[in-house]
Structure 1
Amino acid sequence: MYLLWPRTSAIAARADHVIRTIRSSLHLTPPSLRRSAIMQAQAPKGKRARLACKPCRERKRKCDGGEPCSTCSEWGYSCYYEVRRRKSRAVQQTSSPELLASPQVQNASDHTAVEPDPGGLVRRLEANSGAAFVRKLGLKIDPQKAPKLNLFGWNIGARRLSAQTVASSVFPIVEITSLEHIQALAQVYFDKIAPCYGFIDQQAFFEQLSERWKTPLLPDLYDSVIAGVGALGCLFSQRNATITEVHLVRLARSTLDAHHLSGPPSIDLLTGWTLRSVYLRMTDSPHATWIASSTLMHLLEASGLHPESHSVLPPSVKVDPDLQRRLVGVAHHLNVWTSFDLGLSRVSFQKDDLPLPPSPKPGDYTNEVLGLLPASLSLDPGRSKDEADLPATLIRLLDGVHTAPPSTMAQCNLVLCILRRIHSQNLDISSDLADRVLALLKMGLGCAQSMVMDCTPWHQVANVPFHIICVLLVLDTRSSLSMLPEAMRTLSLVASTYDTETMREAYSAACLLVLLHQQRRKDDIAILGEALSTQQGTQLEILSQPTPSAEEYNWLGALVADLPGLQRVDLDQFLNADMIDVPSFISESA
């Protein structure tokens, strides 16, 4: 022991020196590095998202922090993150007013303050667009096979010739067809389209049409009106596109695009753009229609036709006040619903958006269609609206009187939009109100069939039947599902009559949704059958029991009256075997 003591003492002294060195080095370490080391030592080994994306935070869903995250990828949302920057305390303390007032610092602060807001598009799209509703419906049934985000059945589709060898030249109106042919096409327009969109004076049109053929070598802006009327006449008289229709559409577009605007737009220019927007809404893509309708709204604002009390039109231009209101109302109607379907912003004016309602005329129902504008504008996502008022708005719409198929289809389209909004907000409607809705939708299917047979391909002919199928699947009751065969036959009729890629795609998507719903029902039946397979004896015993008699029923009622905890029980509903016929957003109480 004596021999080992010096060596042990030396080792202890060296260890004490090492400990003092480590302690001194720890005291010299900056506090921030020590905190960082402690946080790294205490950090959990498992990874988790420190910052959730904006769509997941708004919907209170789990986010894995990916770019894009799995939730947004699955639902088809635009995934993005809000960048939160912390200002340094040192910068805040040392920044002087002179430094903050410099242009460089102001520009930098403005650049960092303005951030894109893709979430606004998602919110607007989910509010009124049928595309988001169909996508959610498919994801709810089967996330793996759900259809992509698309505006199925937005219209009948593009009109194309069987032979695509059409010259791209633009011919004058007098060389495209004869005066008699244009007059016949115009008569089709005034018989089928003008009663719904009555913003052109028929007598004045035919007078200018005759004058145009007297000066064939002088092109005029009114050629866009003549060509627009003729193209719509072709659309509503022939199921397949013709070379005349193609040249008329090309002439109308070229005339409008080539017009140089040097002052307030004229009535001829506004009428030509309105006809172009109407034709695009029935045959072209949603974005092309939205651009045309937005252009029309800006031209209306520049013309001074709206607001009516502050017109800046030249004194020589005389406009019938009733036609003026009809023109402005149809432009609003087209722009509002195209914007809703795409989830994009609509063009609104600084003054009151709505013009005065047009005067009713015999055989004209434009006032019925434009009478739906106040309810349509109330659904604008940019406006603050209590969602609890939706059932009351739905009742007012169902109480409206619509005398013609196009007007009834416009009513159905607005009702379907409110139903989608009610479903997205998890609101309830009474069973009586649901029956009224189904009655209107059944009427809409009949109107679509008659319009197809009459060769009046309004855009609602394809749009309304498709979304009726989606709403019937969401209602999921026996009364709603019993309407599915007729709805599918109606959509099949439209797709077979107008055999376009758009209609084939819409019909395929509807069949997919019905098949997915059927498969889910089969899976549910299999699960229920498996649950009862081991209880066959008990099941037979329950089914063999007699129905309660009147005396037993009265005895049960007295028992419920004596027990306060059971006073809320509905015996009729409890004893009724058909208790599954309750839709997802229909309340049990009438």
Structure 2
Amino acid sequence: MSSTQGRKRSRLACQTCRDLKRKCDGAEPCGTCVRFEYPCRYSAGSKMRNKPDRASHAPPSRSGGLLSQQQQHSPVDNNAITTTATTPASSSSSVQHQARSLEANSGPAFVRRLGFKSESKGGSSSPRVQTFAWNAFLGSRQTVQSPPPLARRRPVTELLSQQRMSYLASVYFQKLHPTYSFVEAGEVEQHIRLRWARPSSAHAEPVDAVLCGVAALGCLFSQVDADRTEPELVESAKCMLEQSFSDPPSVSSISAWLLRVIYLRLAGTHYPAWMASCTVLHMLEAAGMTVEDADPVALRSDTEQSSNIEVNRRLLAVSQHLNTWMSYDMGLSRVSLSGVTCALPSKRPGEYTTELMELLPFTIQLDPERTPQAASELESALQIVLDRVHTRPPTILGQCNLALCLCRRLRSMDFTLPDATIQRILVLTASGIQAARAILIDRAPWHHMAYVPFQIVCVLLAIDTVSSISQLRDAMQCLQDVAAVYNTHATREAMRTARSLIMLHQRGKEMLAAALHDIVKVYDVVNAPEHVTNNPAAPAAAALADDFAWLNGLPEDFSNIQDLSLEQLLSPEFFWNASSS
């Protein structure tokens, strides 16, 4: 490149490109958002900086969303800027917004809130605070039969035969790789051949860690109950990875760490999984794998090759996806990398990674650290997510999970969704239940297998219409089927909690029904005594009674009536004064 040609930067970048650290041409809409069909918008702060009379040394405004790169690396400056730029009232409002956003992003927090709401109606105790149905195991597969202390770090050739390693790898690439594709099948096959050809080879730990991770996930997706080998593979990979921190990060070590993150998300517990996901992102940044147009001197030797660019993109995208959602679930901070210039992964035949990764901009849009957004923006994002077509059960569950999170955020803002949107949400939740059943039949225990049906139960109760309540049976049956196949404490607890929420909701409805019954019983017009009166208003009253005589013709049992729209009858809009309730 000529010395006269420098890297061109746009003085104005849209909020989506800022959040994703992508290049922005400053157009409205910008080229990146047009290409990937992202919502393109500019913050007020960015527009002010684009004016000719702007202050040349003014600090970047926070009104656009996430902190600027300098603010992210300087907590002291963050506090100073926040203090000088906001009033106490606006600061308090921002804190309240962040608290509401954290609660709405977290499915477990929403369960607790829903329990409190039902408790106020039914007078019963709400469920305990847990990350309900976060996965189907919550660490139980690792505690079935713990490996001996001296055997926790063993070469993969001692843990598995070459034949079983090849079988577990085939399970991995058949069931998991199409959704999280960042490990090349050809390279794994080559590693297996070379590793068993030289079982006593030294310096094989990075490869062994990858093979152990692939094999552990193959065990998870090929057998309902864990055998002795599975926890040994997990522990061996963990020991190798922890001892590799002194070495520069490489594609192999980062891939092995990401395999561990996926296993922990699917079968482990919350905090180890979240911390491992943070580690992967920091390793990616340390290896220079978040920047594609950087000076090659800054990159590691195995990350600068053109053949690895697509692998780098996939490693980064999958890592961001997992870290962001785990952070939301647990109410913790996600790792926000600075200066990311990697493009999204390219589509490949037979792989569906891009279906999930294209949801990433909308996922990051929910970051509680962002400046409060208008409900209309979140509703627009929800409509785009509902419009998307996903083809594989795990990605359908990811789409459903994002839509449910957007619904919770809108609900936290007291925003009423239109009936048409609610019906579209119910269509998606029905698809989510079918997707969960499909992966259960396939014995592919994705983390959303129990988590999304459980969250669907909660959202259906919150929507509280005839259509949503009628879908509860399918969601509960799905949870029961999951608990029947993967009979763990986590699945049984999820089933019990979902049933408790429905019981609380039922008791609240029974209290309302009892109150209505008492009113009807007291004011029984049919059995009221007839009095002869000379009141001149009597004819008018009689005429009014004739107008509503049709009510007396309604049967006491509506269950056998066809073509009766209970949805319309029980809708709040059916009564003129419903808005005052």
TM-score by length of 1: 0.71
Aligned partner of 2:183 in structure 1 is 200
What stretches of structure 1 move > 6 A for 4+ residues in a row? 117-121, 539-544
Select which of 352, 360, 363 maps to 1:373.
360
Kindly state the Cα deviation for residue 178 of structure 1 after the two structures are TM-superposed: 0.2
Kindly state the Cα deviation for residue 544 of structure 1 after the two structures are TM-superposed: 6.9
CA distance in 1, matches of 2:236, 2:247: 21
Aligned partner of 1:398 in structure 2 is 386
Distance 1:194 1:431, change over 3 A: same
CA distance in 2, matches of 1:275, 1:375: 25
Select which of 210, 221, 230 maps to 2:215.
230
Q: How does 1:475-490 map to 2 (within 5 A)?
A: 475-490=463-478
CA distance in 1, matches of 2:483, 2:113: 24
CA distance in 1, matches of 2:345, 2:548: 66
Corresponding residue SS for 1:536: coil
Kindly state the Cα deviation for residue 261 of structure 1 after the two structures are TM-superposed: 2.7
Distance 1:296 1:545, change over 3 A: same
Distance 1:180 1:413, change over 3 A: same
Select which of 133, 138, 153 maps to 2:110.
133
Moved more, 134-143 or 468-477: 134-143
Distance 1:468 1:207, change over 3 A: same
Select which of 567, 580, 583 maps to 2:570.
580
Kindly state the Cα deviation for residue 576 of structure 1 after the two structures are TM-superposed: 9.6
Aligned partner of 1:172 in structure 2 is 155
Considering only aligned residues, what root-mean-square deviation do their CA atoms show, in Å? 3.0
Q: How does 1:96-107 map to 2 (within 5 A)?
A: none
Aligned partner of 1:244 in structure 2 is 229
CA contact (8 A) 2:146 2:231 kept: no
1:280 equivalent in alignment to 2:257:
no
CA contact (8 A) 1:532 1:539 kept: no
1:436-459 Cα distance to aligned partner (Å, 9 max, x none): 110010011011011111111110
Percent identity between matched residues is 37
Select which of 220, 224, 238 maps to 1:253.
238
1:150 equivalent in alignment to 2:130:
yes
CA contact (8 A) 1:329 1:355 kept: no
CA distance in 2, matches of 1:276, 1:496: 27
Kindly state the Cα deviation for residue 160 of structure 1 after the two structures are TM-superposed: 3.0
CA distance in 1, matches of 2:146, 2:332: 36
Distance 1:534 1:191, change over 3 A: same
CA distance in 2, matches of 1:539, 1:403: 61
CA distance in 2, matches of 1:582, 1:455: 43
Q: Which AA in structure 1 matches 2:300?
A: P
Distance 1:539 1:350, change over 3 A: farther
Corresponding residue SS for 2:322: helix
Gapped runs of 5+ residues in structure 2? 1-79, 84-91, 529-544, 552-564
CA contact (8 A) 2:106 2:331 kept: yes
Aligned partner of 2:251 in structure 1 is 267
Kindly state the Cα deviation for residue 206 of structure 1 after the two structures are TM-superposed: 0.4
Distance 1:159 1:479, change over 3 A: same
CA distance in 2, matches of 1:345, 1:415: 21
Corresponding residue SS for 2:252: helix
Aligned partner of 1:356 in structure 2 is 343
Aligned partner of 1:294 in structure 2 is 278
Corresponding residue SS for 2:420: helix
Kindly state the Cα deviation for residue 150 of structure 1 after the two structures are TM-superposed: 1.8
Kindly state the Cα deviation for residue 126 of structure 1 after the two structures are TM-superposed: 1.3
1:469 equivalent in alignment to 2:457:
yes
CA distance in 2, matches of 1:373, 1:260: 29
CA contact (8 A) 1:161 1:243 kept: no
Kindly state the Cα deviation for residue 577 of structure 1 after the two structures are TM-superposed: 9.8
Q: Which AA in structure 1 matches 2:351?
A: D
Gapped runs of 5+ residues in structure 1? 1-109, 548-574
Which has the larger Rg?
A: 1
Moved more, 187-196 or 354-363: 354-363
Distance 1:427 1:269, change over 3 A: same
CA contact (8 A) 1:224 1:251 kept: yes
Q: Which AA in structure 1 matches 2:188?
A: F
CA contact (8 A) 2:144 2:226 kept: no
Corresponding residue SS for 1:359: coil
CA distance in 2, matches of 1:241, 1:330: 26
Aligned partner of 2:411 in structure 1 is 423
CA distance in 1, matches of 2:567, 2:396: 37
Corresponding residue SS for 1:537: coil
1:107-133 Cα distance to aligned partner (Å, 9 max, x none): xxx9xx9xxx99898455314111221
Distance 1:254 1:403, change over 3 A: same
Corresponding residue SS for 1:427: coil
Q: How does 1:530-569 map to 2 (within 5 A)?
A: 530-537=518-525, 545-546=549-550
Q: Which AA in structure 1 matches 2:223?
A: Q
TM-score by length of 2: 0.72
CA distance in 2, matches of 1:125, 1:577: 33
Q: How does 1:514-533 map to 2 (within 5 A)?
A: 514-533=502-521
Kindly state the Cα deviation for residue 528 of structure 1 after the two structures are TM-superposed: 0.4
1:158-211 Cα distance to aligned partner (Å, 9 max, x none): 243796464122222111110010000000000111100000111111011111
Q: Matched residue pairs, number? A: 448
